[in-house]
Amino acid sequence: GAVVSQHPSWVICKSGTSVKIECRSLDFQATTMFWYRQFPKQSLMLMATSNEGSKATYEQGVEKDKFLINHASLTLSTLTVTSAHPEDSSFYICSASGGISTDTQYFGPGTRLTVL
């Protein structure tokens, strides 16, 4: 149980385009979803926290207009990287908490974004 999926697993796009990454909780209702970013050989950095039906809370230094987060249902959150640039290339990981164990985060497999 407690499986989180991400789609796509990898994406390559041209500079200036927008990319949407989906995060789904497959077998539980995720009241809270988290988006992280991981640069090569570095740790996960929390970008934002989203609760179903409300606006996401962004961490300091994360541009909310650049990284649009939508958490429209208890099983789906999306991260849209708008007008992507090469410096946005990174590994994006989502996690979800909810169900029986609300204080445990279950992580998705991550999405590798490469912006050319």
Partner 1 sequence: AQRVTQPEKLLSVFKGAPVELKCNYSYSGSPELFWYVQYSRQRLQLLLRHISRESIKGFTADLNKGETSFHLKKPFAQEEDSAMYYCALDSGGYNKLIFGAGTRLAVHP
Binding site for partner 1 (CB under 8 A): 4, 32, 34, 42-46, 49, 93, 95, 97, 102-110
Instruction: Give me the least distance between CB of 60 and partner 1, in Å please.
Output: 11
Give min distance, CB of 18 to partner 1, in A.
Answer: 25
- Between 9 and 83, CB nearer to partner 1: 9
What is the C-alpha separation between 87 and 67, in angstroms, rounded?
A: 13
- H or E element in which residue 61 lies: none
CB of 31 to partner 1, least distance (A): 10
**Considering only CA atoms, which of 74, 68, 78 is closest in space to residue 25?**
74
**With the C-alpha atoms ordered 68, 56, 39, 66, is the resulting torsion angle positive or negative?**
positive
Q: How far apart are CA 23 and CA 52, in angstroms?
A: 13
Q: Tokens for 85?
A: 């640039």
Nearest-approach distance from CB 107 to partner 1, in angstroms: 4
Pick the closer one to partner 1 by CB: 87 or 103: 103
Q: Which is nearer to partner 1, 15 or 57 (CB)?
A: 57
